[in-house]
Structure 1
Amino acid sequence: MSKELKTGIIVLIIIIGFFWGFNFLKGHDLLDGKARTFYVEYSKIGGLNKASAVTLNGLKVGQVSNIVFDERPETRGYLIVSFNVESDFEFSKNSVVKIYSPNPLAGSSLAIIPDYEGKPAVSGDTLQGEMEESLFTSIGERLDPLQTKVEKVIEKADTLFGGINKILNKKTIDGINTSVSDFSVIISELKQTIKSVNSFVANNQANLKSTIENTKNITENLTQVTDTLATVDMNAIIAKAENAIDNFNELSKKLNANEGTLGKFLNDEKLYDNIEAATKELEQLLRDVKLNPKRYVHFSVFGKKPKEYRPSLPDSLRLIKD
């Protein structure tokens, strides 16, 4: 046997021993022919990888051998995990294989939750899979929607602040500063006005008190007047007023109907004409008495007979006679 052949055999033995020792240290004995292979399908594996440990009731009984995608159309995107179980411990097909994380810093592992009802599981069977949510996985799943909402809020806030920056240009800021200054001046003037009002009230406190007392007296007098009016029999007054109005209406009707002396006097035109003619004759009589008093009044000391009255002629006839 040549030296090169011996060297090759030694190297091959070392490689095989290293590979066997590495798998033995990981809990997989290549010389044990009792290892069984099972399959589980998951929608997500949460950090599970090849060579992850497989435990049964807390005892390591195997490891994950392979992870591939499911190519079937109805389950496309799912992951098929195959693992070896080197223990001859029996459990049924109803057992559940759960992905869990033993601690936050370690990777995920598989835990077989055995079920002893039904047919025993044999190599090549597909078992039911579940995934136990770890603390960080649960927090991450809850934070993902929150992160999306926060990102949208940040985008809207960025748009809002961009609009505010466009609005708050130098001219607008100067206007705001001017408005604030004017507002300060208004507040100062308002303070001065309040001080003036307080001073006026303090100086005229006696007058204000007297005014308030007078107002109170007026209010009391008005109250008394109101009480007096309340005691007046308004119904009787209204009834008397209505009676007076009815009497006046009755009198007016009689006057218009030529009843009585006053009604005939107001409505009889003939009476009016006679009175007017008598007035004219009385006026002529008074005028004649004034012009010819001797005609109506005669006084004689010696009893002389008065001359016979002769009516005076009109001026036109007197001129013809002359």
Structure 2
Amino acid sequence: MLTITALVIAALLIFSLMGATGFFWQRYPLKSRFTNVAGLAAGSPVRVAGMQVGSVTEVEFAGEEVDVIFEVNREHRSRITDQSTAYLGSVSLLGTNAVDITPSVAGTPIPDWGYVPQGRGKGQLADIAAQATEGVEEVTKLLKDARAGKGSAGKLLTDDRLFTELRQFVGTANDVTEAIKLGRGTIGRLVNDRKTADALDASLQNLQEMTRSINAGEGSLGRLMKDEAFAQSLTGATSSLKDLTARLNRGEGTAGKLMTDASLFNRLNAVTEKLDDLVTKLNTGEGTMGQLLKDKQLYENMNKTVGEFQSLLAEIKKDPKKYLSVKVSIW
């Protein structure tokens, strides 16, 4: 009787222990290959969508990688397909590892001893630790560079001149901000003075109105943009100016010859020099004309003589016999 009772208790214990994975005839073997199993060992749980469905039976090398052999309850065969992936998960914060499999009923079930494709889980403790380590290394490198004076932060920490300039810049920025708050300068008035803001707004509205007028074809500029005939007239004027410039460059016409004929230019230059010399002599009082321009007494005498001559002509016209006598004699 005691033997039967012991056997029943043992059977119940075995059944309770094997409840998640089933008896050996209820399980089928699968494999997965990893580059690093992070301490995974036989007996580690195998989970599908977080639920334990089997356990690891063996871990062995396969070249430079590691094959993990595990058994899974057959009732989950339809959930483990060629669309599923296996990755290393963690059972607890203490570092106990497990094989986690993503379920996928859309694919083809993997046969016995088949490989479940390797995947990568999200938020694994190993990944978090690796990222934390990388972060610490980056911070350490930044601190070393800063202490060595590398980069902007390093120069700021080690270069007194740069630090002083930065303080001056901050002080200047504070002064500018304070001036703006007090309404000083254009920006300060714009921020604090309503009239200035209204004037700027009116200017912007005028600019918008001018833009609208141009787009509507109003005014000369608007006609230039919208009126085809006006644009053609301007194009014709431009063409005429271009033709005139070409003729000048070819030496056609008086202006063209003056631009291209060196001898004509030299003659004109010589005439100009002579005229300049003549004007200089007149200004200095040389010659009759120069004295006439400069000598006031000579000018007055000549003016007086001309006046007397005009008076004489007038008297002769009034009584020519008085001044003219004609004597005729015959030999």
TM-score, normalization by structure 1? 0.37
Of Structure 1 and Structure 2, the greater helix share is in 2
For CA contacts below 8 A with separation 6 or more, give which structure has more relative contact order: 1
Larger Rg: 1
